[in-house]
Structure 1
Amino acid sequence: MAVTDAAIDRIKEMIVSGELAPGARLPKEADLAERLGLSRNSLREAVRALALINVLDVRQGDGTYVTSLEPRLLLDALSFVADFHRDETVLEFFQVRRILEPSATGLAAVHMDDAAVRELRAILDELPQEPSAEDLAANDLRFHRRIAEGSGNAVLAALLESLSGPATRARVWHGLTQDGAAARLREQHTAIYTAIASRQPDVARAWATVHVAGVEEWLRRPT
């Protein structure tokens, strides 16, 4: 494993230094192994590991390429992990969301253009009057994703997407529908939207904190 780790580090150095740019094709396996002083088996293991975390893209019959390295792509693995966690760990993910979500919402109030604000209003209006748990989860995901995208910070948006993906939201909302959550969701989303639309970042941050903390409070209740 130590040899594979060394191979990963060597490829990482080539990417970080700019020798291999996003979208660049890696040299042929034999040439790259010789150049890096590695066995071809070690190089293959390193490439496989980097492909799993979306740093490299192995295209059969074509070659191996550096991906776009966009934050959303690289943080996919975190989303995968988040979807598997339950109980206390899910609560910890929400605690992180409570830190990051208000910041993204405040930034959105400053940076979202009028067209994006209208999109946010349209998402609000798409929630049915008597939504199912699936409706709530899907609408909540789209609403917060649009806000995160509107923050103007791609890393922050990717982190938030990873921390609470569709599977995590579905589990939470299935429980919350038993507790009259639909009305609160609509009320709080509307308040967040209004603050963003009126360009009030402090108010937007406050409502986002209330919204995420409310879900966190529910998760803390004994079952």
Structure 2
Amino acid sequence: MYSELLAPIHAFLACPTPDAWIDEAVRQQEILLIDHANCEKKAAATAMSLMHRYVERSELLIMASRLAREELHHFEQVVEILRERGIGYRVLSPSGYAAALIKEVRTHEPAALVDKLIIGALIEARSCERFAKLAPYLDETLRRFYLSLLRSESRHYADYLALAERYSDGNIQQRVATLAEKEASLILAQDPQFRFHSGVPVCAMVE
């Protein structure tokens, strides 16, 4: 049903989510949900930051405004699921995933903007891929919720990538490949901390 929607996502990412991460996510659903809420809030903040930094880019302003509203709506939905399950929402220490990707951003414009947009596309694509891969292992409520997010996450990925192409001085394929490989290295690396965008759980590496 979702194969056509997910095909470009899978082609864009340089690796799939390891099964060991899926196993850990199923075991740690409370942390999964809390960090999912945090990720939605951060995604909205990232969109707002782009709007403040690049006020002259009208296409970016429109896309980021829409994205921020959608991400905040998703945040509200996750918080409601937490409330229904008697789980208190709290701030967790972040994974190093996003920070490591941001370190790869070039320092001159428009290259910096292009890199930020490609990274945004990678994060949205990874979220979409993980929602789809996780869904079959979750209860009916979470399964339906995560599947309901696929279209918006895939659209966010496509919007980010389209703007990266629009604002670049040249072809972005090599830069996409470079950043995708960096993203994959983080997803496949041993990670002592479980988060929505963390790598392979340490326990799985030991086993």
Instruction: Please indicate, yes or no, whether the TM-score normalized by the shorter chain is above 0.5.
Output: no
Larger RCO (CA under 8 A, 6+ residues apart): 2
Q: Name the TM-score, length of structure 2 as normaliser.
A: 0.31
